[in-house]
Amino acid sequence: MVRIITGTKKGRKLITLEGEATRPTSERIKGAIFSSIQFDVENRRVLDLFAGSGQLGFEALSRGAESVTFVDSERDAMEIVKKNARALDFFDRAKYSVADYRNYIRKAAGRDKFDLVFIDPPYAMECCVESAMRLRDAELIIPGAILVLESGTEEILQTDPRLSGFEFVKSTNYGKKTAVNVLIYRGVGE
């Protein structure tokens, strides 16, 4: 069962996609993520880049985020996100895009700006670092933006030159399968 941990919609259940197509973030990991950014959610413009059921974006809205843009390449997943948004009365505080993350970033460049981003792709994709780079290069994140990267086998190293402009705030492994990295974007040339 996936539910909202705290905020205005605390305890509300979310529906998820049937089968193995999506892998919802466990409540333990979601709790740890939001514990580490708890004072940096209110009034943020959020991007939930691999939305799945939308639980990370909805948790942010429950905790006072201004708005969320949900992106997922699967139409069925986006229908679940929309159902959850309606059930939580968050539908009008969100945008919905059925698109591959690369296409979304390319098309949104120069149009959108975010200051909190969740990057939680299917682990086999190993595209957390690439996604962060693309967001930076497309100028979709502002200096001071927080990025939360949840990965499986993809190694995310603080010394990776592709992550220039980012500062690592927290890196935690959860068992052998999941790593969460919280980064702040300091801007180009930082």
Alpha-carbon distances of 109 from 45, 52, 138, 169, 188, rounded to whole Å: 15, 22, 5, 26, 16
Radius of gyration of the chain (CA): 15
The domains found in the chain, sorted by start residue, are 2-185 (3.40.50.150)
- 118: tokens are 């969740």
**pLDDT score for 18:** 76
- 46: tokens are 């959020």
Residues 66-86: what's their mean pLDDT? 97
Residue 190 pLDDT exceeds 70: no
Residue 189 pLDDT exceeds 90: no
The residue count of the chain comes to 190
Nearest CA to 130 among 115, 146, 151? Answer: 151
Q: What pTM value is reported for the model?
A: 0.94
**pLDDT score for 22:** 60
